[in-house]
Amino acid sequence: MSWWPKQTSDAKHSFVKSAFVVAFLALVACKERPKLASADKVLVELRGPDGLVRLQVSHNGDNFGDERLAWYAGPEQGGNLQRLPGKAGTLSVDDTHLTLRRADNGDLAMTSNAHLRLSIDRRGDTLRIGNGDGFPLARVREEADVARMHGPGGELQASAKLEGDRIGVADRDGKSLGFVSGTTNPEQALMAFLPGLSPIEQALLLATPVPAIRAQKP
């Protein structure tokens, strides 16, 4: 007869413990689940041809003057982004730490776990994008209000043009790839459409102004 109370106690303890674990995991999942920001906090946004949000970078907190931002690429993809001097940024996800830094001359370098991932350099009126090994990936140039991205072989990859309060981006055949709002710079919008980028890399590039055209020395 003595075993019954002990079994009941053990079962009760196990049930309470299991319930606590489930509740804790649910709480963690709820806290970490990314969500869209309200319209008044959105800094820059990328939407697909269907008008649905693909990527969003927003102000994080009530003080819009601070350097804390948030990014969202879906219910399971998102996090925080910290602004650096020069309006570049840094963020981490899983085992990867990404940083986008601006040099004194305005050029940008993206590193992944301290290894160079991308370089974005201004040469006259052209942006040159290279990979971590120094090989060219693309070049971007704006002419007559249209920015065009060409591959390393000179082939057209995409183009971007301001359309009202947003920028429309199309592939080389003129088919819509999406729309970017929150910036009026077609060159910056094209940065998010570089081949092979992850959503967090897109977020950093969309939130960072591209190197400006430097004044020519007399």
What is the tens place of the pLDDT at every residue in 136-149?
Answer: 999 999 998 899 99
Rounded percentage of the chain residues whose pLDDT exceeds 70: 81
Choose among 25, 63, 4, 72: nearest CA to 44: 72
- Weakest-pLDDT range from 14-18, 66-70, 183-187, 191-195: 14-18
Beta-carbon contacts of residue 57 (< 8 Å; ≥ 6 apart): 42, 43, 44, 45, 69, 70, 71, 72, 81, 182, 203, 206, 207
Residues 155-164 have a mean pLDDT of 96
CA angle 30, 198, 189 (to 5 degrees): 105
pTM here is 0.80
Contact 169, 160 (CB under 8 A): yes
pLDDT band at 73 (very low <50, low <70, confident <90, very high): very high
What is the tens place of the pLDDT at every residue in 105-123?
Answer: 999 999 999 999 999 999 9
- Give dist(CA 50, CA 200) in Å, integer: 22
Choose among 167, 119, 159: nearest CA to 142: 159
Question: For residue 150, is pLDDT > 90?
Answer: yes
Q: Mean pLDDT for the chain?
A: 84
- Weakest-pLDDT range from 31-35, 84-88, 162-166, 196-200: 31-35
